A = this chain, B = another copy of it.
Amino acid sequence: MATFSPLIDRLLETLRVLPGVGPRTAQRMAFHLLERDREGGRRLAEVLGEALERVGYCERCRNLTESRLCSICEDARRDDHALCVVESPADLLAIEEAGGFRGRYFVLHGHLSPIDGIGPADLGLDQLEALVHQRQIEELILATNPTVEGEATAHYIAEQLRALGVRCSRLAYGVPMGGELEYVDGGTLSRAFMGRQPFGEQDAN
What residues make up the interface of A, taking CB atoms closer than 8 Å to B? 1-8, 10-11, 14-15, 17-20, 25, 27-35, 37-38, 40-52, 54-55, 63-67, 70-72, 88-90, 92-93, 96-97, 109
Whether B8 lies near A55 (C-beta < 8 A) is: yes
Whether A44 lies near B55 (C-beta < 8 A) is: no
With contact pairs A17-B43, A28-B20, A44-B14 given, residues A55 and B7 touching in the complex (Cβ less than 8 Å) = yes
Whether B50 lies near A7 (C-beta < 8 A) is: yes
Q: How far is the CB of A31 from chain B (nearest CB, A)?
A: 5
A72 nearest CB neighbor, chain B only: B4
User: In the complex, what residues of B have CB within 8 A of residue A71's CB?
Assistant: 4-5
Oligomeric state, in copies: 2
Q: How far is the CB of A84 from chain B (nearest CB, A)?
A: 14
With contact pairs A64-B34, A89-B35, A96-B2 given, residues A11 and B45 touching in the complex (Cβ less than 8 Å) = no
CA A30 to CA B51, docked complex, whole Å = 9
User: In the complex, what residues of B have CB within 8 A of residue A109's CB?
Assistant: 35
Query: Can you name 9 A-B residue pairings with CB atoms under 8 Å?
Result: A4-B71, A6-B66, A7-B51, A14-B44, A18-B29, A27-B90, A31-B89, A45-B46, A45-B48
Whether B20 lies near A25 (C-beta < 8 A) is: yes
Q: Which of B1, B40, B93 contacts A17 (CB 8 A)?
A: B40
Residue among A35, A42, A47, A63 with most chain B CB within 10 A = A47
Q: Which of B5, B17, B72, B96 contacts A70 (CB 8 A)?
A: B5
